[in-house]
Amino acid sequence: MEYLLLNYNRTSLRPTTFLLLGIPGLEAVHIWISVPFCLVYLVSLMGNIALLLIVKTDHKLHEPMYLFLCMLSVADLMLTSSTLPKILSLFWFNYREIYFEACLLQMYLIHSLSTMESGFILAMAFDRYIAICHPLRHSTLLTPAVIVGLGLGIVFRGAILLSPHPFLLRWLSYCRTNVISHTYCEFMALIKLVCTETKIRRAYSLIVAFLTGGLDFILIICSYVLILLTVFNLPSKAARLKTLSTCVSHVWVILVFYTPAFFSFLTHRFGHHIAPHIHIFVANIYLLIPPMMNPIIYGVKTKRIRERFFKFLTIKCV
């Protein structure tokens, strides 16, 4: 217990460092869990970097959908790189300490970048809606200036709406413990350590979550309802299947991103009966799997990306 309270400042009731516990109950197998975590991280890095290079070098892929996908890839790379190195150091070397300010920064990056990812997925849904429901206006509505504007708007939304989070937590009293029962720093894990009233801060977190991920998901569903209405009005089955096939990759990205995100969000607030290691494992899946799967999904479904990727591998091998 003395080790767990290391560097704890009892005068200010604010620790100079936190101690990350990892996955509670599974500490003995951290080293084995690290193997798939590391492999997924490496695949995510290589896949997203390859995707960015392919889209950058192939002008035929400079379309709104793939430009938004590149923005999503950049956010994925930043998100995984802000969390996985620390998680792996915890698993491999039992290095649990993280400075208070570094913890707040990691928390901010996780939540703001996740918000940006949600926004980019919404932008991709908007692209599919325009392409299918208003095909003749696609190029005039989604001009390069509009794409840049949407991208910047999504970035600023995530950066600004989540900027109060570190300040909401910085001046609180952490009189219970400085041990975080998690593999990384995130808002709800930190707020549980506070011994003062946190209703306003929790309410702000819920409002931001609804105005970003929740609202994005509702708008995505609305866009696909309109897409389905348009598709069902097409004259032939072949035309309907061909049109729907252009949405398959994006639908998979939506499922991969929002399923663990909603599960993690709901269990944090309402799933008190769920075992902690299950919740934390799903929270890690939310950080790991979408960044790995996004380039794979589009690489498998997009012939041009797939061909360019194999060509890139052939050149490297030669």
pLDDT attached to residue 261: 84
Quote the tokens at residue 198. Answer: 């946190």
Which two three-digit tokens encode residue 140?
A: 């005039």
Res 316: pLDDT: 54
Give the CA count within 13 Å in the CB-facing half-sphere of 227: 25
Q: What is the pLDDT of residue 202?
A: 83
* pLDDT at residue 272, rounded to an integer: 67
Instruction: Classify strands 179-180 and 17-20 as parallel, antiparallel or unpaired.
Output: parallel
* Alpha helices (runs of H) in the chain, residue ranges in sequence order: 30-57, 64-81, 84-93, 100-133, 138-141, 144-161, 164-170, 187-191, 199-209, 215-232, 237-245, 248-269, 276-301, 303-317
Contact 190, 107 (CB under 8 A): yes
Domains in the chain, CATH or no CATH each:
17-166+174-316 (1.20.1070.10)
Residue 247: which residues within 8 A CB-CB, separation 6 or more?
128, 132, 224, 227
Instruction: Please report the pLDDT score of residue 239 as a whole number.
Output: 86
Torsional sign, CA 196, 200, 203, 205: negative
Measure the CA–CA gap between 101 and 59, rounded to whole angstroms.
42
For each of the chain's 318 residues, which pLDDT tens digit applies?
444 444 444 445 678 889 998 888 888 889 999 999 999 999 999 999 999 999 998 888 899 999 999 999 999 999 999 999 999 999 999 889 999 999 999 999 999 999 999 999 999 999 999 999 999 899 899 999 999 999 999 999 999 999 988 888 888 888 777 888 889 998 888 888 888 777 888 888 888 888 898 999 999 999 999 999 999 988 888 888 888 888 999 999 999 999 888 887 777 666 667 777 788 888 888 889 999 999 999 888 887 788 777 776 665 555
Whether the predicted model's global pTM rises above the 0.75 cut: yes
Q: Token digits for 33?
A: 């869990």
Query: Are 305 and 60 a contacting pair, CB within 8 Å?
Result: no
